[in-house]
Amino acid sequence: MKRLRAVLCGVLPLALALPAAAHHSGAMFDDTKSVTLSGTVKVFQWTNPHCWIQLLVPGKSGATEWSVELGAPFEVYRTGLRPSTVKAGDRLTIVVHPMRDGSHGGLFVSAEGPDGKPFGKAAK
């Protein structure tokens, strides 16, 4: 009985801590809006905890750099993307949920590659 109690006292705090394993909130993105961006990839970052596409979007006063957040590499991999799918210099059209504060960033919704074919979530 003492051994069972000792195990439970050791395991229970760990089990309760698992739901608290933090993941940041998506509150900074406005999921009621979508913005379509067309531009050139500056860099595709295949990194934990999230992958990113830095997209240079042309405008009246030059290019604006947008930071597009994707999921974790394992999530992105399941949608068909690979580290070599997107390369610097590629022309992409990306739909994002924009940042609520108006900064040039957003959460990835879907995309079309340079060949016009969808990839990522749109390809499911």
pLDDT in tens, 22-43: 556 788 999 999 999 999 999 9
Give the model's pLDDT for residue 116. Answer: 85
How much of the chain, in percent, has pLDDT values that exceed 90?
A: 65
Lowest mean pLDDT segment, chosen from 6-20, 32-46, 63-77, 88-102: 6-20
Range scoring the smallest mean pLDDT among 1-5, 67-71, 75-79, 112-116: 1-5
Distances 119 to 21, 26, 61, 72, 84 between C-alpha atoms, Å: 30, 22, 30, 16, 13
Superfamily of chain region 25-123: Nucleic acid-binding proteins (2.40.50.140)
Instruction: Provide the residue ranges of all domains of the chain, joining segments of one domain with +.
Output: 25-123
- Smallest Cα–Cα separation from 80: which of 117, 114, 40, 43? 117
Pairwise CA distance, residues 75 & 16, whole Å: 25
The reported pLDDT for the residue numbered 14 is 46
**pTM, 2 dp:** 0.76
pLDDT higher than 50, residue 124: no
Angle subtended at Cα 47 by Cα 102 and Cα 51, rounded to the nearest 5 degrees = 40
* Mean pLDDT across the chain: 84
pLDDT at residue 18, rounded to an integer: 45
Cα–Cα distance between 65 and 81 in angstroms, integer?
22
Q: Which ranges of 18-115 does DSSP label H, i.e. alpha helix? A: 73-78
